[in-house]
Amino acid sequence: MRLHGKQVVLTGASGGIGSALCAQLVKRGATVLAVGRSRERLQRLAMQAPSGQVVPVVADLASAEGRQHLREQAQAHTPSSLILAHAQSAFGMFEGQSEADLQRLLETNLTAPMLLLNALLPILQRQPQASVVAIGSTFGSLGFPGFSAYSASKFGLRGLFEALAREYADRPVEFLYLSPRATRTPFNNAAVEALNHELKVAQDDPEVVAASLADAIERGDRRLQIGWPEKLFARINGVLPSLVDGSLRKQLAVVRRHAGTTVADPLSHGEPHHETSPSP
């Protein structure tokens, strides 16, 4: 789908990958309804674009009010594309996560995308051709220790998109599930950075990831996994998961050490934030 002249709803636009993707969409001639919770960051994005090409929409998508606000904004425009690039991160051992943490994570990463799709698909389908894009994750194809709930949310998103692509196969709406690998954004706190460093996990810059995502959207790729070893690991996990079990078993002690303890972060709307545990 050519982005030029299209109106696109982009969630997570205030984030690291989202703001770089917003810039790509603008560069390719799209008008963007840029969704996030941070009004300040969305306004900055709007200021950087030609007048009227980025329309900030402040909404907490984990709330019914936030989703309703976005639906009203979408109705007032004529979007043909919805890109779901918002998510909450959660690194930590599973038993250290509270019921409230887990509910909030699933509400943000899986329930909100599902409910938004349900509400916005009729609006998108008013256009002759529509597309819906999920920004997934390697951990949506490969369950990783220390990211159990996050992996579950991304596996769910991938399943939703696969089923919808098949359900709408005879309609002019496409469903793309595109997965970055580790990317240098605020999504990864100090503990994740330290883990990635110790495990020698390759990391991309958000601008590079955003250019790949925008290319994939224009090509209409149904599935994309960025990064060669990640692509291979995800495939091996699909056919021979016991091989990956063995490989990750060897990394478990490192994951446990970095997962450390969960502490409340007063600056993050009551969401948990993980700190590296002291070295043993």
Ligand X SMILES: NC(=O)c1ccc[n+]([C@@H]2O[C@H](COP(=O)([O-])OP(=O)(O)OC[C@H]3O[C@@H](n4cnc5c(N)ncnc54)[C@H](OP(=O)(O)O)[C@@H]3O)[C@@H](O)[C@H]2O)c1
Residues that bind ligand X (CB under 6 A): 12, 14-18, 36-38, 41, 60-62, 85-88, 108, 135, 137, 180, 182-183, 185-188
Least distance to ligand X from the beta carbon of 130, Å? 20
CB of 235 to ligand X, least distance (A): 17
DSSP state of 128: S
Residue 76 beta carbon to ligand X: minimum distance, rounded to whole angstroms = 19
CB nearer to ligand X: pick between 110 and 240: 110
36/272 with CB nearer ligand X: 36
Smallest distance, Å, CB 134 to ligand X?
Answer: 8
Best CA proximity match to 8, nearest among 72, 67, 77, 68: 77
Chain residue at closest Cβ approach to ligand X: 15
Q: Which residue's structure tokens are 């599930």?
A: 177
Helices (H), the chain: 16-27, 39-48, 64-75, 99-106, 112-124, 148-167, 190-198, 206-219, 228-239, 241-259
Q: Whose Cβ is closer to ligand X: residue 177's or residue 187's?
A: 187
Residue number with CB closer to ligand X (30 or 213): 213
**What are the residues facing 175 on neighbouring strands?**
132
Of residues 127 and 193, the one with the C-beta less far from ligand X? 193
User: With respect to ligand X, which residue has the nearer C-beta, 153 or 262?
Assistant: 153
The kind and range of the H/E element at 36 are strand 31-36
Place of tokens 């950087």: 48
Least distance from ligand X to the Cβ atom of residue 49, Å: 16
* C-beta of residue 17 within 8 angstroms of C-beta of residue 185: yes
Choice between 147 and 164, CB closer to ligand X: 147
Distance of closest approach, residue 155 Cβ to ligand X, in angstroms: 12
Question: Closest CB to ligand X among 14 and 81?
Answer: 14
Q: How far is CA 182 from CA 129, 192, 260, 272, 277, in A?
A: 32, 10, 20, 20, 21
Tell me the closest approach of the beta carbon of residue 266 to ligand X, in angstroms.
Answer: 15
CA pair distance 107, 88, nearest whole angstrom = 10
Crossing angle for the helix pair 16-27 and 206-219, to the nearest 10 degrees: 50
State the minimum distance, in angstroms, from the CB of residue 10 to ligand X. 9
C-alpha to C-alpha distance for 31 and 52, rounded to whole angstroms: 8
Strands 54-58, 81-84: pairing kind: unpaired
